[in-house]
């Protein structure tokens, strides 16, 4: 496709038309110039392509496809290669089905457990989210199919999502909400990015030039096209000017007309419209040039991949020697989800699965007893079902209860109002645990839940929404055929009220203030030294691992260099297993309010029984930095940092210190209201005011009295503190020989000119 030539031959009407969809899923054609339509399709964990008989609104059945584990599960794998494998499978399916762009992955931060769409999102941590998304993108695009990284930006609630204004300070945006997108854009270069519905600090995402152009394109180097979330356009002309290229779905020609009128009236430059069309056609042409219509995909192979993936993703939260179960043990599977697993969430990512594998079905050769235990459509105790479950539990060695959140509890479009599973399920767990000490709970849910019964059961396996093969994967883990290796990509608080966003989440009408700032998830819980139910990064194994011999290749590093950290990990248990080594960095001498420590690297390694492997990580400036609003850049404070290696954010096994030297001078402008202490902490500034301080000490009456009464009124500690926090101007009151404000201002000017 000769795009430059085509741009010159397109009419204004055709250009405007190419910037919006033809229907719900397709871009427009221009037949006279041989510009074909291209199709985009949901979703992040499976292909939701509507069949040829589908309606223009996109609500009819989609084709049969494999539903892989959702992002809440895949993030818990902490496995980049696994996400690449998922992406490759999705890319194959897209090539086979002539899909140019698959809409995902979704990388929004899990600010609160209440967000109804959390199951589609990776993590509360931006580094982990960016790494998982980047790997997903690399996998898909290796098959020459585009991805659409979404939902850009600060779309962290479903409540009033189309009109809500996310009010966030710059540092928080940079460190938490932009960072996940930044990592994925820079490392994987998605073909497209999807803007969100909401406003960011007063301006809709769809017309926000600061984020769509200044940051996304100019800072990060994104070179694809930006599309709207479905129906996210507010002002189409402002959107094109800001960098929103493609409006989806079709506006029925309404917004096309507005673009035409704006160009003709001189309110929109035609070259801006040309740029949007160029970006769209470039991606369309990229797909067409690499089209592989002969691509075939095997549904059974992909189903088995989904099962393998879930085996890597499920998180063993608790195990008091109850798991794994012996193949010969008498076992009861209890709960509706044992026979009918909830394996995906509701909304745009809902897959018409090729088949669904339940735990009951997967364990059919093990003589498992099944009891439904509770109703799924109503949260009320069914006494007959409860009694049946209790009787079944009494007859066996181990009872496994399959519980979690029904579809109605979490979905795209609305948020949860609490963190509980249905009370009928809590009652079932309590009743079974009362008669069967060997009780295990398997959870099917898209985000954290409260567990009032946690001390009454011996085991908890978090399956999340594990895709269509979740039943087989869970059975593999329960019986020890797969050693669990998932780690929580989000903290599980003890109760909803503990969450840092609790007081402000959802906002007031259309204003949602992110008052917790950078303290999202474990950053908050660790800063407050608060107990959690299960910490970020937590996950048990059927074996044990020992960390040792942690080293750094240098003890001091300049902020423009890197330091390499290495350590040995040994499998000290009796079976083969995988461990996720997590690297956290802690600033010991920070002058700003920062999290205690932050995840900066991780690696998943497999070890045979008794095997030792050395794992190494390279950390650069960003690992030590916070976003400095004054510098408008990342700043690594000079000082000592602890680098921790751990099995979770709360299970830190090894540490080593590294000194960082900053080549960047932090901008400081002194004035008459600068405190004495702040000035003295600056070595150069301290030299300039040293004579003045001596005059103050010699002439001040404070703390110089020999009387007992005076000494009891003004202690040395009080005198030191008052001096340290005294503004420079106030020295006139205590140093009589300082003649004027002018003299002080001259000192300030000398300091600022240094």
Q: Which residues are catalytic?
A: 229
Dihedral sign, Cα of residue 713, residue 719, residue 725, residue 729: positive
Three-state SS annotation for 73-97 = HHHHHCCHHHHHHHHHHHHHHHHHC
Q: Quote the DSSP letter at residue 21.
A: B
307 vs 470: CA distance, rounded Å? 6
* Secondary structure, 3-state, 94-139: HHHCCCCEEECCECCCCCCCCCCCHHHCCCCCHHHHHHHHHHHHHH
Q: Greatest CA separation found in the chain?
A: 100
Tokens representing residue 261 in the block: 């009128």
Asked whether the beta carbons of 649 and 586 are under 8 A apart, the reply is no
Residue pointed to by tokens 């985009």: 40
Cα dist. 105→62, 113, 149, 164, 608 in Å? Answer: 19, 19, 5, 22, 33
The two tokens of residue 37 are 């339509």
b/e code 397-436 from CB counts within 10 Å (16+ = b): ebbbbbbbbbeebbbbebbbeebbbbebbbbbbebbbeeb
Measured in whole angstroms, the distance separating CA 632 from the mean position of its chain's CA atoms is 23
Q: Provide the token pair at 472.
A: 């087989």
**Cβ distance 375 to 310 under 8 Å?**
no
Q: Can you tell me the distance from the alpha carbon of 734 to that of 738, in angstroms, rounded to the nearest whole number?
A: 9
In whole angstroms, how large is the CA radius of gyration of the chain?
A: 30
How far is 119 from 344, CA to CA, in rounded Å?
8
Extract the tokens encoding 542.
Answer: 């059927």
726: number of Cβ within 10 Å: 17
Output phi, psi for 486, to 5 deg: -70, 150
Cβ-contact 222, 216 below 8 angstroms? yes
Helix axes 741-752, 683-699, angle to 10 degrees: 160
Contacts of 372 (CB under 8 A, 6+ apart): 334, 335, 336, 339, 385, 388, 389
- Residue (of 617, 678, 665) closest to 645 by Cα position: 617
Report the alpha-carbon distance of residue 574 to residue 659 in Å, rounded.
39
Residues ≥6 apart with Cβ < 8 Å to 11: none
């Amino acid at each position: 496709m000769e795009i430059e030539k085509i741009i010159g031959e397109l009419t204004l009407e055709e250009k405007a038309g190419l910037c919006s969809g033809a229907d719900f899923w397709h871009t427009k054609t221009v037949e006279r110039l041989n510009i074909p339509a291209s199709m985009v399709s949901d979703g992040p964990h499976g292909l939701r392509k509507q069949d040829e008989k589908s309606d223009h609104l996109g609500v009819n059945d989609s084709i049969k496809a494999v539903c892989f584990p959702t992002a809440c599960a895949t993030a818990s794998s902490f496995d980049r290669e696994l996400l690449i494998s998922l992406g490759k499978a999705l890319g194959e399916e897209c090539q086979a089905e002539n899909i140019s762009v698959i809409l995902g992955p979704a990388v929004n931060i899990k600010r609160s457990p209440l967000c109804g769409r959390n199951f589609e999102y990776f993590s509360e941590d931006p580094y982990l989210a960016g790494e998982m998304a980047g790997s997903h993108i690399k996998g898909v695009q290796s098959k020459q199919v585009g991805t659409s990284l979404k939902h850009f930006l600060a779309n962290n609630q479903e409540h009033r999502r189309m009109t809500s204004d996310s009010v966030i300070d710059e540092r928080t945006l940079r460190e938490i909400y932009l960072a996940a997108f930044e990592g994925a854009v820079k490392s994987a270069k998605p073909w497209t990015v999807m803007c969100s519905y909401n406003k960011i600090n007063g301006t809709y995402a769809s017309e926000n030039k600061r984020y769509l152009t200044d940051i996304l394109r100019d800072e990060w180097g994104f070179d694809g096209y930006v599309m709207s979330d479905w129906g996210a356009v507010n002002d189409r002309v402002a959107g094109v000017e800001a960098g929103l290229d493609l409006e989806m779905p079709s506006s029925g020609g309404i917004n096309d007309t507005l673009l035409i009128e704006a160009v003709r009236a001189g309110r929109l430059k035609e070259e801006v419209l040309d740029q949007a069309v160029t970006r769209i056609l470039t991606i369309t042409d990229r797909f067409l040039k690499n089209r592989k219509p002969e691509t075939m995909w095997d549904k059974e192979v992909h189903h088995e991949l989904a099962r393998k993936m879930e085996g890597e993703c499920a998180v063993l939260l608790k195990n008091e020697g109850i798991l794994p179960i012996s193949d010969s043990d008498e076992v009861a599977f209890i709960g509706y989800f044992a026979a009918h697993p909830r394996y995906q969430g509701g909304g745009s990512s809902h897959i018409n699965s090729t088949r669904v594998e339940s735990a009951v079905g997967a364990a059919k050769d093990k003589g498992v007893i099944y009891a439904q235990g509770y109703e799924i459509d109503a949260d009320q105790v069914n006494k007959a079902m409860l009694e049946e479950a209790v009787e079944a539990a009494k007859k066996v060695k181990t009872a496994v209860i399959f519980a979690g959140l029904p579809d109605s509890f979490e979905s795209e479009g609305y948020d949860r109002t609490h963190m509980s599973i249905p009370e009928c399920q809590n009652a079932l767990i309590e009743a079974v645990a009362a008669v069967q000490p060997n009780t295990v709970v398997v959870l099917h849910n898209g985000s954290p839940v409260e567990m009032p019964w946690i001390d009454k059961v011996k085991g908890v396996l978090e399956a999340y929404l594990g895709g269509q093969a979740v039943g087989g994967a869970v059975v593999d883990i329960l019986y020890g055929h797969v050693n669990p290796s998932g780690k929580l990509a989000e903290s599980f608080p003890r109760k909803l009220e503990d969450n840092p966003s609790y007081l402000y989440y959802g906002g007031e009408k259309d204003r949602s203030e992110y008052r917790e700032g950078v303290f999202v998830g474990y950053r908050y819980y660790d800063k407050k030294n608060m107990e959690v139910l299960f910490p970020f990064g937590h996950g048990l194994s059927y074996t044990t691992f020992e960390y040792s011999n942690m080293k750094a290749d240098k003890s001091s590093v300049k902020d423009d260099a890197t330091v390499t950290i290495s350590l040995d990990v040994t499998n000290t248990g009796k079976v083969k297993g995988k461990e996720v080594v997590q690297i956290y960095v802690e600033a010991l001498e920070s002058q700003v309010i920062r999290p205690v420590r932050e995840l900066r690297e991780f690696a998943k390694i497999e070890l045979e029984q008794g095997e030792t492997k050395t794992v190494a990580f390279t950390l650069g400036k960003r690992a030590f930095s916070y976003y400095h609003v004054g510098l408008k850049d990342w700043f690594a404070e000079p000082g000592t940092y602890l680098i921790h290696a751990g099995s979770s954010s709360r299970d830190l096994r090894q540490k080593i210190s590294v000194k960082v030297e900053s080549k960047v001078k932090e901008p400081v402008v002194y004035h008459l209201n600068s405190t004495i202490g702040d000035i003295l902490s600056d070595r150069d500034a301290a030299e300039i005011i040293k004579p003045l301080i001596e005059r103050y000490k010699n002439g001040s009456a404070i703390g110089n009295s020999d009387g007992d009464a005076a000494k009891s009124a003004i202690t040395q500690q009080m005198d030191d503190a008052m001096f340290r926090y005294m503004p420079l101007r106030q020295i006139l009151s205590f140093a009589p020989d300082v003649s004027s404000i002018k003299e002080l201002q001259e000192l300030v000017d000398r300091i600022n000119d240094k």
